[in-house]
Structure 1
Amino acid sequence: MFSNEGKNQLISLGPPDYRDSLSTMDFKEISPVLWTTDHVKEWMMTNNHSKLIHLFCEDHAIDGKALLLLTESDLRSPSLGIRALGDMKRLSMSIRQLQLENCDAIVQMGYDLSELIQMPKGLGSCYPLCSLRSVRDRLIHKDPSLSDFMERPGSQYQDDSGAENPGLQPEIGKTLLSLFYLFVVTWITAFVMVVVHDRVPDMKKYPPLPDIFLDNVPTIPWAFSMCELSGTLLLIVWLGVLTFHKHRFILLRRFFCLSGTVFLLRCVTMIITSLSVPGTHLQCNPSVDEDWQRLFTEEMYTSLSRKIQRAYIIWRGAGMSIQGVRTCGDYMFSGHTVALTMLNFFITEYTPRHMYFVHTFTWMLNMFGIFFILAAHEHYSIDVFIAFYITSRLFLYYHTLANNRSLMMRDSNRTRIWFPLFSFFESSVDGIVPNEYESPLVPLGKLCSLIYTRVFHFVRDTHVQLLGKRIKNTDPKSD
Structure 2
Amino acid sequence: MRLDPYPQLPAADARPQTNGGIHSARDVDYHRKPVKDWDYADVAEWLSSEGFSAFANLIAFEHKIDGSMLLMLTEKDLREKPLEMTCLGDIKRLAIAISMLRDSAHPKLHTFPSTSSVQEPVHSSPKKTISKTAREHEDMLVCVEVEDGVVPIANADSKILADTRENANRVLTEIMSKDGEGEVRRVHLLSREEIIRQVESPDTKNKSYVKLFIAFCYCSFSLLITAFTMVIVHDRVPDMKTYPPLPDVVLDNLPFIPWAFEMCELIAVCLSTVWFIILFFHKHRVVIMRRMFSLTGTVFLLRCVTMIITSLSVPGAHLECRAKTYGSLWAKLWHAYHIWSKLGMSIRGVRTCGDYMFSGHTTAITLLNHLITEYTPDSWHGLHTATWVLNLFGIFFILAGHEHYSIDVFIAFYISSRMFLYYHAYAYNHYNLTFQDGRMRIWFPLGWFFEAGGHGRVPNEYEFPFSLPDVSWLSRKRNPSPTVVGSGEKRTRIPSLSLDRKNPSPENNNKPTRRRRKR
Q: TM-score range by the shorter chain?
A: 0.5 to 0.7
For residues 355 and 210 of structure 1, the distance between their equivalents in structure 2, rounded to whole angstroms, comes to 41
Which amino acid letter does the alignment assign opposite residue 458 of structure 2?
V
Structure 1 counterpart SS, 2:438: helix
Task: Give the drift of 1:392.
Answer: 0.5
Q: Are 2:301 and 1:264 equivalent residues in the alignment?
A: yes
- Superposed displacement of residue 389, structure 1: 0.3
Equivalent of residue 313 in structure 1, options 314, 324, 338: 338
Task: Give the match's secondary structure for 2:439.
Answer: helix
Tell me the residue number matched to 2:399: 374
Match among 221, 224, 229 for residue 258 of structure 2: 221
> What's the counterpart of residue 390 of structure 1?
415
Q: 1:408 aligns with which of 421, 433, 448?
A: 433
Secondary structure of 1:441's match?
Answer: coil
**Paired residue for 1:178, among 190, 210, 215?**
215
Note if contact 1:168-1:247 (Cα within 8 Å) is conserved in structure 2: no
Query: SS at 1:197's partner residue?
Result: helix
Once the two structures are superposed, residues 407-454 of structure 1 have per-residue CA deviations (whole angstroms, 9 ceiling, x without a partner) of 422345311111111111101214311111111224x88xxxxxxxxx
Among residues 386, 389, 393, which one is paired with 1:364 in the alignment?
389
Partner of 1:8: none
The reply to whether residue 417 of structure 1 matches residue 442 of structure 2 is yes
Aligned mates of 2:274, 2:291 — CA distance in 1: 17
Stretches (4+) displaced over 4 A: 166-170
Task: Report Cα offsets for 1:221-271 as digits up to 9, x if no partner.
Answer: 000000000000010011011111100000000000000000000000000
Give the corresponding residue for 2:281: 244
Q: Where does structure 2 lack aligned partners over 5 or more consecutive residues?
A: 1-201, 470-519
Give the distance between the partners of 2:433 and 2:205, measured in 1 at CA: 19
Matched letter for residue 270 of structure 2: L
Residue of structure 1 in register with 2:111 after alignment: none
2:258 aligned with 1:233: no
Aligned to 1:40: none
Give the Cα–Cα distance (whole angstroms) in 2 for the partners of residues 198 and 239 of structure 1. Answer: 35
- For 1:266 and 1:283, locate their aligned partners in 2 and report how far apart those are by CA, in whole Å: 23
Deviation, structure 1 residue 397? 0.6
- SS across alignment from 1:413: coil
Q: CA deviation at 1:310?
A: 1.2
Total equivalences in the alignment: 268
Cα root mean square deviation, aligned: 1.9
Q: Distance in 1 between matches of 2:289 and 2:437?
A: 24
Whole-angstrom CA distance in 2 between matches of 1:328 and 1:282? 9
Whether the aligned pair in 2 keeps the contact of 1:169 and 1:428 (CA below 8 Å) is: no
Output one character per residue of 1:155-205: Cα deviation in whole Å (capped at 9) or x when no partner.
Answer: xxxxxxxxxxx7685711110110000111111001000000010000001
- CA–CA separation in structure 2 for the residues paired with 1:353 and 1:437: 14
1:256 alignment partner, SS class = helix
CA contact (8 A) 1:242 1:248 kept: yes
CA distance in 1, matches of 2:406, 2:242: 22
Q: Does 1:197 align with 2:222?
A: no
Cα distance between partner residues in 2 of 1:194 and 1:436: 42
For 1:283 and 1:374, the matched residues in 2 are separated by 17
Task: Kindly provide the CA deviation profile for residues 311-366 of structure 1, in whole angstroms up to 9, marking residues without a partner as x.
Answer: 11111211100011000100000000000000000100000001111111111111
Q: Aligned pair 1:354/2:379, yes or no?
A: yes
Asked if 2 retains the 8 angstrom alpha-carbon contact of 1:168 and 1:428, the reply is: no
SS in 2 for 1:362: helix
SS in 1 for 2:221: helix
Q: Give matches, 1:7-406, under 5 Å.
A: 171-285=208-322, 300-301=326-327, 303-406=328-431
Matched with 1:86 is none
TM-score, normalization by structure 1: 0.54
Indicate the SS of the match to 1:410. helix
Distance 2:205 2:287 in 1: 8
Q: Which has the higher helix share?
A: 1
In structure 1, give the amino acid aligned to 2:449. Answer: F
Question: In the TM superposition, what whole-angstrom CA distance separates every residue of 1:288-311 from its partner, at most 9, and x where no partner exists?
Answer: xxxxxxxx6x6x34x111111211
| Matching residue within 460, 464, 468 for 1:435 | 460
Structure-2 change in CA distance of 1:429 and 1:334 (3 Å) = same
What SS does the aligned partner of 1:333 have? coil
Task: Give the structure 2 partner of residue 453 of structure 1.
Answer: none
Where in structure 1 are there 5+ consecutive unaligned residues? Answer: 1-165, 287-295, 446-479
Report how far residue 405 of structure 1 moved.
3.5
TM-score normalised by the chain length of structure 2: 0.50
Conservation of the 8 A alpha-carbon contact between 2:430 and 2:451: no
2:402 is paired with a residue whose SS is coil
Which is bigger in relative contact order (C-alpha 8 A, separation at least 6)? 1
2:406 corresponds to which letter in structure 1?
A: S
Q: Which has the larger radius of gyration?
A: 2
Cα gap change, 1:168 to 1:245, in 2 (>3 Å): farther
**Structure-1 separation of matches of 2:204 and 2:424:** 15
